[in-house]
Amino acid sequence: MILALAGGVGASKLLRGLAQVIDPAELTVIVNTGDDVILHGLTICPDVDTVIYTLAGVADQERGWGVEGDTFNALQWLGRYGRECWFNLGDRDLATHLHRSALLNEGRTLTEVTDLIRRAFAVRARILPMSNERVSTIVLTDDGPQSFQSYLVRDGARRAVRGVIFEEIERSRPAPGVLEAIETADGIILCPSNPIISIGPVLAVPGIREALRATKAPIVAISPVVSGRSLKGPTDKFLTGLGHEVSALSVARLYHDFLDLLIIDRLDTGLLPVIEALSLQAKAAETLMDNPERKIALAKETLVCLASLTGWRR
Amino acid sequence: MILALAGGVGASKLLRGLAQVIDPAELTVIVNTGDDVILHGLTICPDVDTVIYTLAGVADQERGWGVEGDTFNALQWLGRYGRECWFNLGDRDLATHLHRSALLNEGRTLTEVTDLIRRAFAVRARILPMSNERVSTIVLTDDGPQSFQSYLVRDGARRAVRGVIFEEIERSRPAPGVLEAIETADGIILCPSNPIISIGPVLAVPGIREALRATKAPIVAISPVVSGRSLKGPTDKFLTGLGHEVSALSVARLYHDFLDLLIIDRLDTGLLPVIEALSLQAKAAETLMDNPERKIALAKETLVCLASLTGWRR
């Protein structure tokens, strides 16, 4: 079983490739839920949905969020009622949030609900939220604290990041199956997601980082930073805001207590010796996944790296 | 101020006419909420919405429910998730239920929420739910009790009606403003709605029927039964099921303790003497409202009847 730790868009590109290279039934994905947001009384899990929609083949890959060909008629009327409409909710997407919220209100856990949703799409990969408890990623800016979605979507990630808090994370526990998956995986992949606010919350759930340190499975990460810039999203703002340079080297440092190998972009080949000086293996590859072939190629490369590490660790 | 007691579709046709004949700001409508249903975690008030959508000019008048030109993409996906989809929910319509449910969950009353929704549509008529407490119309059939919507929409009102229960009605109170409106109205209209399951629940809220008996305002009703048939919906099934003949005469009997005048259809002119024998006035008119002119004409006729009664009662 291959285990992947994932945020939203960046991760799902690699997962799309992986699911074509290995039997998806052999893939487990632990997904960040720190971005989750409650709007209009609905529990919305953007990263979980992006991963499921992508693996189901219904994601809008151009926009990077939501469902391909979705309409926005409910949202237009929510606006008419004076409700907050900065978070885009397509009509089909809304059905997912309605279904999830109704099941949660009936007492189902987020793990159970996530499993029902991915099965409704015949997604064969197992999708686990990082935790059943609600954790909220809060971004500290000069204008005060903001929820992550409000910082990113409502305000367009304009403000400098002064800090990040994962609210209630101390009280959260890994979702059922998460620690077992880390322990029993044949290989673990940290997807090219924002290491601070996508992978960061997953690692901060008490027990998960420790389990990654303890597992016998080899662990490979893919840097979302290429030649000093984040490929998409505000990864650079978060790295800078927390005092890290915007470089694959920072990704190596953030993961180095449990990571075996970091895949960096070809353009960063010069960083290989510096990263290896951290007692990490490093490998340069084409990490830009702008077409299906490149997703598959990077997935294959990642699996080759994992295979090369098998039996090597500890 | 003119006060109307209303169900959904039949009522809203007359209300549409009324709002063009008098200043809508002078119109108050008390609407049945016994048909309300909770689906997908959302509180849905079909009659309230039909009245608001109609007065707002956004109702789908051909279908008789929902919003004109609405799409059904969320519903399609709710079906994909295996959720009950027999109750048609358009995407725009869904926004109304989301908004209402979110406000109710925040502690607003149904009266407050209804007022916010009609104001969002610039509907100038005042719309009052019959009660802020939840009342459920239950239909008894040979196959057991069913909620009204499930009987009507899911099963197509196929089964014979053996009885009707308004669950929790003893514990309900008239919504704020309802009794005052009955007391201070210049005239009261019972719209051509099903007397058993549309007007019936309104009359059964403790205090409302008594207030109608006590008010000095003249009261006119319009029969939804024409020449032994209900113009739309299962009014006939409900009358038969509760032991009434399917006739405007039954409508007269059901209301006769507080009613001053019943408007019946021209085709039922023969019933005038029988109804008058109940110490009620009766008047024959064209009650089919199949075009805008006829809605206006019946509204005018109703107002003329009310005017003829002013000062006459008690």
Tens of pLDDT, residues A87-113: 999 999 999 999 999 999 999 999 999
Report chain B residues whose CB lies below 8 A from the CB of A97.
none
Would you kindly state where each structural domain of chain A is located, as residue ranges? 2-129, 171-309
- Report the pLDDT value the prediction gives residue B314, as an integer from 0 to 100: 44
Contact (CB<8Å) A92/B78 = no
- B257, exposed or middle or buried, with CB in 10 Å at 0-12, 13-18, 19+? exposed
Token pair for A255: 């993961």
Q: Which amino acid is at A216?
A: K
Report chain B residues whose CB lies below 8 A from the CB of A74.
74, 91-92, 94-95, 98
Token pair for B203: 């009359």
Q: Which CATH architecture has domain A2-129?
A: Orthogonal Bundle (1.10)
| Phi, psi dihedral angles at A180 (to 5 degrees) | -60, -40
- Report the pLDDT value the prediction gives residue A310, as an integer from 0 to 100: 79
Q: Which CATH architecture has domain A171-309?
A: 3-Layer(aba) Sandwich (3.40)
Task: Tell me the pLDDT of chain A averaged across its residues.
Answer: 95
Contact (CB<8Å) B71/A91 = yes
Residues of chain B scoring pLDDT < 70? 311-314
Tens of pLDDT, residues A52-80: 999 999 999 888 889 999 999 999 999 99
Tens of pLDDT, residues A140-183: 999 999 999 999 999 999 999 999 999 999 999 999 999 999 99
- A140, exposed or middle or buried, with CB in 10 Å at 0-12, 13-18, 19+? middle
Tens of pLDDT, residues B301-314: 999 999 999 765 54
| Phi, psi dihedral angles at A202 (to 5 degrees) | -60, -45
Place of tokens 């009310």: B306
Tens of pLDDT, residues B64-85: 889 999 999 999 999 999 999 9
Q: CA–CA distance from B34 to each of B196, B203, B230 (Å)? A: 11, 11, 20
**Is residue A131 very low, low, confident or very high in pLDDT (cuts 50, 70, 90)?**
very high
Token pair for A182: 């880390």
B1-37+131-314 fold: Rossmann fold (3.40.50)
- Report the pLDDT value the prediction gives residue B229, as an integer from 0 to 100: 87
CATH 1.10.8.240 for the B38-129 domain, yes or no: yes
Token pair for A15: 């997962």
* Whether complex ipTM tops 0.95: no
Chain A closest-CA separation from residue B90 CA (Å): 8
The answer to whether the beta carbons of residues B279 and B312 sit under 8 Å apart is: no
**Candidate from B75, B82, B120 with C-beta closest to A82:** B120
Chain A closest-CA separation from residue B120 CA (Å): 6
The answer to whether the beta carbons of residues B123 and B56 sit under 8 Å apart is: yes
Contact (CB<8Å) A95/B117 = no
Token pair for B284: 């024959």
Residue A242 pLDDT > 90: yes
